[in-house]
Amino acid sequence: MRTTVLAVVVAIALVGCCGPAVVSTTAGPAVPAPVPVRPAAVAWRWTSPAALHEVARAGAGVVVAGDDGVVALDGVSGTERWRYSRPGTRLTALQVTPGGATVVLGYDDEALTVLDAITGTPRWDDPADPATLLVTDDVLVLARADGVGVEQEARDLTSGEVLWTRGTTPGCEQRTLAPQRSVGAVPVAEWCAGRTVLRGRDSRTGRDRWTVDAGPAEASAGSALSSSSDGSLVAVSGPRPRLLVDPRDGTVRARVPRTAGSPLLGEGLPRVEQLQRIVPAVEALDLATGSPVTVPPAPCEGPAVLVLPGSVVQACSEEFADVATVDGGPPIDLGVLAPDDGVPLGRPERAPDDPVLVPAPGAIVVANRSGSTVVVGLR
């Protein structure tokens, strides 16, 4: 315990003289536990001391993001492993590499910090505008709008060294930017002569490794990408059908027709959103056919849905408590994830959301991005 306290004091003393103070603790090595495939009960609860804005799988569990930094929780026990914050600044970006080994933080004073996700040890920081972040397991790519194009700058996640810079392909346009995670190549969607072209750039050199013609699109603004949290799939919007592509080699894993719904990538296996219904619904996606697969019934309308290899987990916000179900089974009482304590949110524009579900080492983590939040681990 003495070592942890000393680490915090030293960090403040070193950084506080020349810029915002840094409060930082670290943890020892750990082997991440397997992700549960069929959780059955609440294993732990952790109360956030401040407004919670994001939860992401990282290291040996999850990182939870507040106004000025992150806290890492162990997925098995729910106890705090490490923390990193810069009081007086605002955290504006959080990215975790697909394998969960590295955490990247961006701040509103144009500072960028890269941390080891297991130990919390800072690797490097730089006074650079975080812009839009794309991460592979070894490279961080900063993307900035440049007229009708986008300029990308790739940096080594271990050293911070600039590896390459590249703009939009001549004769093409790229106007949409969104945070991404990717395994292997760096995916880029461009609009070229009325068609959307998906390119996979080598993460170390920036050269094109593969290209996929995604089909005709009406405008460059519609040529956008989304990605799964493990980086194994990217989806390109605009063309119909929508393509789900493996960024490692450009293989088209699925073609999702317009009638199937809008593909959703994020945590867990792919889903599709059905909007042309009286009650909108989220369903699982069969990659072999591109067709939706109905999920088990949930105890509420519009639940959060997480599709795992061995089960479907759904979470609902109720008036007095929050619940989760696994494959439509009996509700698991989560208690109250976002208590009404009368304290305004850290960011006034942030309203309480539906619960988020994160498959993490050791637990399926449930939380509500709100002012006063309880984070729950299911196992």
| Residues 67-113: tens digit of each pLDDT | 999 999 999 999 999 999 999 999 999 999 999 999 999 998 888 99
Structural domain contains residue 323: no
**Those residues with Cβ within 8 angstroms of residue 161's Cβ, 6 or more apart along the chain or in another chain:** 155
Residue appearing with tokens 């506080």: 16
The confidence score (pLDDT) of residue 372 equals 72
Structural domain contains residue 178: yes
Least confident of 9-18, 179-188, 236-245: 9-18
The confidence score (pLDDT) of residue 128 equals 74
Domain span including residue 210: 131-228+230-256
Tokens standing for residue 20: 């915002």
pLDDT exceeds 80 at position 349: no
Tokens standing for residue 44: 């732990």
| Region class of 171: left (phi > 0), else alpha (psi between -120 and 50), else beta | left
Tokens standing for residue 159: 């050293």
Structural domain contains residue 88: no
CATH of the domain at 246: 2.40.128.630
CA-CA-CA-CA torsion sign (311, 317, 323, 328): negative
Tokens standing for residue 235: 């989806």
Q: How far apart are CA 70 and CA 83, in angstroms?
A: 6
Least confident of 179-183, 267-271, 342-346, 353-357: 342-346
> In this structure, are strands 42-47 and 54-58 parallel, antiparallel, or unpaired?
unpaired
Structural domain contains residue 247: yes
Type of residue numbered 185: A
Structural domain contains residue 180: yes
Residue appearing with tokens 């961080």: 140
Q: What is the mean pLDDT of residues 110-139?
A: 90
| Residue, of 89 and 50, whose pLDDT is higher | 89
pLDDT in tens, 187-199: 999 999 888 999 9
| Residue, of 224 and 151, whose pLDDT is higher | 151
**304: nearest Cα among 353, 257, 373:** 353
Contact status, residue 36 vs residue 82, Cβ threshold 8 Å: no
Q: How far apart are CA 64 and CA 94, in angstroms?
A: 10
CA distances from 28 to 59, 63, 71, 73 (A): 11, 16, 15, 13
The confidence score (pLDDT) of residue 178 equals 81
DSSP state of 341: -
Q: Could you tell me the pLDDT band of residue 320, with boundaries at 50, 70 and 90?
A: low
Strand, helix or coil for residue 199 = strand
Type of residue numbered 1: M
For residue 360, the tally of other CB atoms under 10 A from its CB is 27
The confidence score (pLDDT) of residue 340 equals 59
For residue 222, the tally of other CB atoms under 10 A from its CB is 16
Q: What is the mean pLDDT of the chain?
A: 87
pLDDT exceeds 60 at position 2: no
> In this structure, are strands 61-65 and 42-47 parallel, antiparallel, or unpaired?
unpaired
Q: Could you tell me the pLDDT band of residue 130, with boundaries at 50, 70 and 90?
A: low
Tokens standing for residue 11: 């960090």
Structural domain contains residue 14: no
Q: Could you tell me the pLDDT band of residue 10, with boundaries at 50, 70 and 90?
A: very low
Structural domain contains residue 223: yes
Question: What's the CA angle centered on 362, arms 71 and 156, to 5 degrees?
Answer: 55
pLDDT exceeds 70 at position 5: no
- How many domains does the structure of the chain reveal? 1
Where helices occur in the chain by DSSP H, the ranges are: 2-16
Structural domain contains residue 171: yes
Least confident of 76-85, 135-144, 339-348: 339-348
**253: nearest Cα among 227, 279, 276:** 227
